[in-house]
Amino acid sequence: MPGRRRPIRRIWPGIALTLLLWIVSARVFAHYVAAIADYSATYAGLAGIMTAQIFLYLMAVVLILGAEINAELENRNQ
C-alpha cells in the first residue's frame, strides 16, 4: 500500500467491486459447503477449521482483487 491518502471517489470502484464479490462469493461458498462439500469425511474433527481457512483465503483473494482494480485505474489516470 502506498503511504499516501486517496480521495474516496478514486477508490470507490475497488470498494464497490470488493463488496459485491464478497457477498457473491460468500453465498456461493455457503451453498457449496451446505450442499456439495463433505469436509467432515476428509478432515474429521478439523472440518470447521479447514472450512474457515478456505473461506478466509477466498475473502483475501477478493480483497486483493479490489485493490488491484484501484491500482490499475490509478495507473490509467496518470
Domain ranges of the chain: 9-77
Which three three-digit cell numbers place residue 37?
A: 462439500
Cell of 21: 464479490
pTM: 0.80
- pLDDT at residue 27 tops 80: yes
Query: How large is the average pLDDT for residues 62-71?
Result: 93
**Residues 6 or more apart from 68 whose CB is under 8 A from it?**
14
pLDDT at 1: 56
Which range, 26-30, 34-38, 43-47, has the best average confidence (pLDDT)? Answer: 26-30
Cβ atoms 14, 69 nearer than 8 A:
yes
Residue type, 25: S
